[in-house]
Amino acid sequence: MTSYKPISTDRTDVLRAKRVYGIWYGASLGFLFALFTWGLDAYTLSKMNSLYPWLKFVAGALLCTAAGGLTGWLATRRDKPLIALLIWIVYGFFLAWLVVTLPTVIFPRLLTLLEPEVQQYLHYVYYPEFSTRIGVAFAWIIIFVAIAGLLQLPLSEGAVFSTSILGKVAPILVGLVLVGIAGTIVDGLNNELLRTPVEELNASIQFAVDHKGQQVDKTESRKFRQASLRVVKDLVTPDRKMIVSGYDAFLGEVNVLVKFNKAWVECQVMYNQPVNCKQVGTIP
């Protein structure tokens, strides 16, 4: 009778397979984090006449996926649980930094490459207070990323030798739950605060478009903040594109730039309430 000999984990082909799986594990978690953090935000913005609503998601997905793949590879290469945990903690800080930096620094730079004329109307500022936002984001993200990092090596060990599809994707499904929760939570730190003003202003403009030339009840007019559009009511058109053009340090006061058919209009939105709008440029 031939005795069974387990496959050695020190074999070159096994080590290579584990490292490749580590890349896939990290890259998948990075992409899924971006999906929950900026993908859902992009989908919502795409429903409200936003300008380049998917830009943040595409940039975030590329950065998170690439950095996640590198993280998973490094953790597998070192093959020590404690070291793997430290590597994933560093990745968690990168994600927290990106949560704040992507919409306030990276996004406007990419936007001006795609739409050069908008640059003169943007006044994005990276405030010192944003470091606190990074800290808060890190405090939430690290909980889930640390768990994902601790689970990588033991889960990947079984997945590499698994002969079933479910066995190979099970670790990624576990990670999906973790990064899904993390991404949903941090969406409220920046994205929601910059998304809701656009949503509210879009509703006000749509109300004005739908009731143009009609007698409107004063209560409904106040509800949809029609007074904020009084100065620019003749410029309002059904076709429009909207983008955040500026904000204060606490993201309570947000300026929204609107591209109508013949004019650029900037509106001030205070804590999700449109206050006033003015024309800032013309479109030939």
**Residue-wise pLDDT tens digits, 34-54:** 999 999 999 999 999 999 999
Residue 146 is predicted with a pLDDT of: 92
Q: What are the boundaries of each domain within the chain?
A: 12-189, 194-282
Residue 161 is predicted with a pLDDT of: 63
Segments in the chain below pLDDT 50: 1-9
Residue 79 is predicted with a pLDDT of: 77
Residue 6 is predicted with a pLDDT of: 38
Strand partners, 256: 244, 267
**In this structure, are residues 92 and 58 in contact, taking their beta carbons and an 8 Å threshold?**
no
Residue 26 is predicted with a pLDDT of: 92
Residue 177 is predicted with a pLDDT of: 87
Six token digits for residue 65: 């996926």
Residue 3 is predicted with a pLDDT of: 43
- Spatial separation of the C-alpha atoms in residues 192 and 175, rounded to whole Å: 24
For 135-193, write each residue's pLDDT tens digit: 999 999 999 999 988 888 777 776 666 666 766 677 778 888 888 899 999 998 889 99
C-alpha atoms less than 13 angstroms from C-alpha of 133 in its C-beta half-sphere: 24
